Amino acid sequence: MASTDRIPMGRMHIDDEMRATTARILDSGAWIKGPESKAFGAEWAEYCGAISGVPCSNGSVALIAALQVLGIGPGDEVIVPSHTYIASATCINLVQATPIFVEVEEDYYTIDPDAIEGAITDRTRAIIAVHLYGQPVDPRVFEIGRSRGIPVIEDSAQGHGGSLNGQRIGSFGDIATFSFFPSKNMAVGGDGGAIITTRPDLTEHIRMFIDHGRSDKYRNDILGTNFRLSEIQCGIGRVQLKHLDGWVNRRNKIADRYLSSFEELGLNLPVVRPSAVHAWHQFVLRVADREAFIKHMDSKGISTGIHYPIPCHLQPIFASHPQGNLGSLPFTENLCDHIVSIPVFPLLEDEEVDRIIDAVCSFKL
């Protein structure tokens, strides 16, 4: 690759095994509800340390399904961080419940346990804990849920392969949801997601919900709909899963190089929670003059991203929400004004990592 080629924020992995798997499933004629989806759900749950799992059509509907399975609905409140992708919050509205936005921790950018304690009311029915950027959530969040009898949903859309104290993301809460969108730590050749659980009483309910709530072809026992994932995508997911640990390891090696190279620059660098394996879906800096930094990196042929520029509570969709005004969550609002992501995907070549480091180090604060 020429040293002048632009470095993107991501690059997809496509290999011969994925191509062969796709051809095999096409030829089989079993394109939906076949052996691949059952195997992928089981393998993904086992990898994460859950007891069961079901693939579904994407990470956003996985969150909706999780809330539905837990019986969340009108009049209920669900606590969620405002610093996250919008799907973490709108899923709550889509089941006609109310999101209660809280701050994230200043070091780790995941939901603040103290903020959760202050937001619990007699209408709180769930907590959505987002493993943002691949950083494992503080385990106190799950302790609060257990002590208060409040289910915790792990929004693990960015957490594939991360862990804390040897326990993988996806096995801490009652339900965990994942996205396999092409930009995520592993993918399925299109949109895709999964729902896994640590609770035996939810296993069958989850499986039924994503398949029209049925226990038999024409028997529908619970309210559900079609959130299934195709056999081809499940087959691709099974192939990608074989690579995930290696990819997360590569992400960590790149992140370690960044952290050691940038420590004297005066930038606000990401912090890894003690005893955590960060999944490094994103490597996020905090820069005083973000616009100048992005312009500088662009001049060096390096892509950047902002994850995310508008807090959920300040999105137009929440303009009528009681928290939908500037000043409601001051740390989150300030954070979103300064964050910027640089490439950290595992298919980066060493020469590209060198270029990114040189570009960041040459930025004049």
Each residue's pLDDT tens digit, 254-274: 999 999 999 999 899 999 999
Superfamily of the domain at 244-361? Aspartate Aminotransferase, domain 1 (3.90.1150.10)
| pLDDT range class, residue 222, cuts 50, 70, 90 | confident
Averaged confidence pLDDT in the chain: 97
Backbone angles phi and psi of 153, in degrees to 5: -100, 125
Model confidence pLDDT, tens digit, residues 284-334 = 999 999 999 999 999 999 999 999 999 999 999 999 999 999 999 999 999
The reported pLDDT for the residue numbered 119 is 98
| pLDDT range class, residue 2, cuts 50, 70, 90 | low
What single DSSP character describes residue 305? Answer: B
The reported pLDDT for the residue numbered 335 is 98
Segment 18-45 mean pLDDT: 97
Domain 16-241 top-level CATH class: alpha beta
pLDDT of 365 over the 80 cut: no
Cα separation values, 198 from 46, 191, 252, Å: 11, 24, 27
Domain spans of the chain, in order of start: 16-241, 244-361
Q: What percent of the chain has pLDDT over 70?
A: 99
Fold match flag (16-241 vs 244-361): no
Model confidence pLDDT, tens digit, residues 175-191 = 999 999 999 999 999 99
Higher pLDDT: 60 or 1? It is: 60
Residues 6 or more apart whose Cβ sits within 8 Å of residue 28: 34, 231
CB 137 within 8 A of CB 168: no
| pLDDT range class, residue 1, cuts 50, 70, 90 | low
Radius of gyration (Cα) for the chain, nearest Å?
Answer: 21
Q: Identify the three-state secondary structure at position 66.
A: helix
pLDDT of 114 over the 80 cut: yes
CB 229 within 8 A of CB 192: yes
Q: In the structure, how many helices (H) and strands (E) does the chain have?
A: 12, 14
Position 48, amino acid: C
pLDDT of 26 over the 70 cut: yes
Look at the block and give the residue holding tokens 């999101």: 99
User: Residue 229 and residue 190: Cα distance in Å, rounded?
Assistant: 10
User: Residue 149 and residue 10: Cα distance in Å, rounded?
Assistant: 40
Q: Identify the three-state secondary structure at position 327.
A: coil
User: Residue 198 and residue 95: Cα distance in Å, rounded?
Assistant: 23
The reported pLDDT for the residue numbered 3 is 63
The reported pLDDT for the residue numbered 266 is 87
pLDDT of 4 over the 90 cut: no
Model confidence pLDDT, tens digit, residues 342-351 = 999 999 999 9
| pLDDT range class, residue 122, cuts 50, 70, 90 | very high
- pTM, two decimals, is 0.97
Tokens of 99: 């999101």
| pLDDT range class, residue 364, cuts 50, 70, 90 | confident
Strands in the chain per DSSP E: 52-56, 77-81, 98-102, 124-130, 152-155, 163-164, 167-168, 175-179, 193-197, 214-216, 219-220, 276-277, 283-286, 339-342
